[in-house]
């Protein structure tokens, strides 16, 4: 039996930091409200001309180096993003060209904040069946490009960043299971109108019914956590670390409560980079690994929830 395991992780945040104090000057909000209701203290914004693939390349090179590999060793690229550089070629292919691993499959997955979970699940299957040996999985976004900077309900939340992992085959898990879901009935609660087929209209802007999204996110993440534990015959106490989607500290706390995990066992990075959609889970994972909290052999539960709605989880022996 072949499993996939995480060989290396990497992440990248653009240099420009946008603070809550700056947002106070842009919309009717306050640092106090943002911290209390979301946990966010600052976020990173891509420079003019800096694209999703630019951010992804930094994260990918760091993950490949951490895995002890060279870019040309990568034989599969799955790229989660909802803010692609171009309509096509997809971000996976644009990244492939820069890394120089020409000829290998490269594609992007467009499942909003769950993009990394979907990309990870697909890459895991390819490694498990022996068709990929060094799979690069990326989550990267420049959400600032479709943020409505006059809407206080969303401008305070969304931001830019990238995270990546390299998967390799292993005789022991590795990734124990992944669980993906989508429910299109909720598409109007969180979306960005405009596309090739419908036309780009006026301005690209994320629309969100925050309170409603919050409620469904807490419920669906709670149930996917139960599903993940049940699929592996595990008790809640088996989890060493929760590595959650970094959307709102209150959603993170609700999932931690569901798992009976103290917040010391949860990787929380939302204060530093806000909601970076597909980038948020691999960013948090990389930060938790590089600062020494997450150690080899520990059991990690990753989860994310986003527009669609789409959501998913992964149980990983690191
Ligand atoms: O990653 C994908 C998923 N996205 C999410 O997970 C986001 C989910 N939703 C949320 O994180 C939260 O719902 C928000 C942070 C968006 C909003 O927090 P909330 O606690 O649900 O606030 P609310 O919408 O119930 O609004 C409470 C009050 C309202 O004022 P009144 O009606 O009580 O007078 C809002 O108008 O807070 C007001 N408000 C704000 N005040 C200051 C809403 N946004 C702001 C703001 N600054 N930015």
In this predicted model, what pLDDT tens digit does every residue of 28-60 receive, in sequence order? 999 999 999 999 999 999 999 999 999 999 999
Confidence (pLDDT) at 99: 98
Nearest CA to ligand 1 atom 26: 211
Question: Are 314 and 299 within 8 A, CB to CB?
Answer: no
pLDDT 10s digits, 257-271: 999 999 999 999 999
| CB 64 within 8 Å of CB 166 | yes
- Token pair of 293, please? 């909290």
Catalytic position from the list 113, 179, 192, 273? 113
Q: Is 38 in the pocket of ligand 1 (CB under 6 A)?
A: yes
- Token pair 């989890």: residue: 239
- Residue 63: pLDDT band (50, 70, 90) is very high
Question: What are the structure tokens assigned to 116, written together?
Answer: 């990394």
Q: What is the pLDDT of residues 86-144, one digit of tens each?
A: 999 999 999 999 999 999 999 999 999 999 999 999 999 999 999 999 999 999 999 99
Minimal-distance CA residue to ligand 1 atom 37: 33
The strand pairing partners of 243, in sequence order, are 302
Given a cut of 90, is residue 206 above it in pLDDT?
yes
C-alpha 223 to ligand 1 mean position (Å): 23
Q: Please tell me the pTM assigned to this model.
A: 0.97
Average pLDDT, the chain: 97
> Tokens 């020409």 identify what position?
102
Burial of 292 (0-12, 13-18, 19+ CB in 10 A): exposed
**Does residue 192 carry a catalytic annotation?**
no
**CA gap 166, 120 in Å, rounded:** 10
- Atom of ligand 1 lying closest to residue 29 CA: 47
């Amino acid at each position: 039996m072949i499993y996939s395991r995480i060989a290396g992780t990497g992440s990248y945040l653009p240099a420009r930091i946008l603070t809550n104090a700056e947002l106070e000057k842009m919309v009717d909000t306050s640092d106090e409200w943002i911290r209390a209701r979301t946990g966010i203290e600052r976020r990173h914004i891509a420079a003019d001309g800096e694209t999703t693939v630019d951010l992804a390349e930094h994260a990918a090179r760091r993950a490949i180096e951490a895995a002890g590999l060279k870019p040309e060793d990568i034989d599969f690229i799955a790229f989660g993003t909802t803010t692609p550089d171009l309509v096509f070629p997809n971000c996976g292919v644009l990244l492939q060209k820069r890394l120089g691993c020409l000829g290998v499959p490269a594609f992007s997955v467009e499942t909003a904040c769950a993009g990394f979970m979907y990309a990870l699940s697909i890459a895991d299957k390819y490694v498990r069946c022996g068709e990929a040996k060094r799979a690069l999985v990326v989550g990267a976004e420049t959400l600032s490009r479709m943020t409505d900077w006059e809407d206080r309900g969303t401008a305070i939340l969304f931001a830019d960043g990238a995270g990546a992992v390299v998967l390799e085959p292993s005789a022991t898990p590795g990734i124990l299971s992944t669980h993906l879901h989508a429910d299109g009935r909720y598409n109007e609660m969180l979306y960005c109108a405009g596309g090739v087929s419908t036309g780009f209209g006026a301005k690209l802007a994320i629309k969100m019914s925050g309170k409603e999204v919050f409620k469904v996110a807490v419920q669906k993440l709670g149930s996917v956590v139960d599903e993940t534990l049940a699929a592996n015959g595990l008790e809640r106490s088996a989890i060493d670390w929760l590595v959650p989607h970094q959307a709102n500290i209150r959603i993170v706390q609700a999932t931690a409560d569901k798992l009976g995990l103290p917040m010391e066992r949860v990787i929380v990075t939302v204060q530093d980079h806000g909601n970076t959609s597909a980038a948020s889970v691999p960013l948090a994972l990389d930060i938790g690994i590089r600062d020494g909290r997450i150690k080899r052999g520990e059991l990690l539960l990753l989860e994310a929830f986003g527009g669609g709605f789409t959501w998913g989880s992964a149980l990983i022996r690191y």
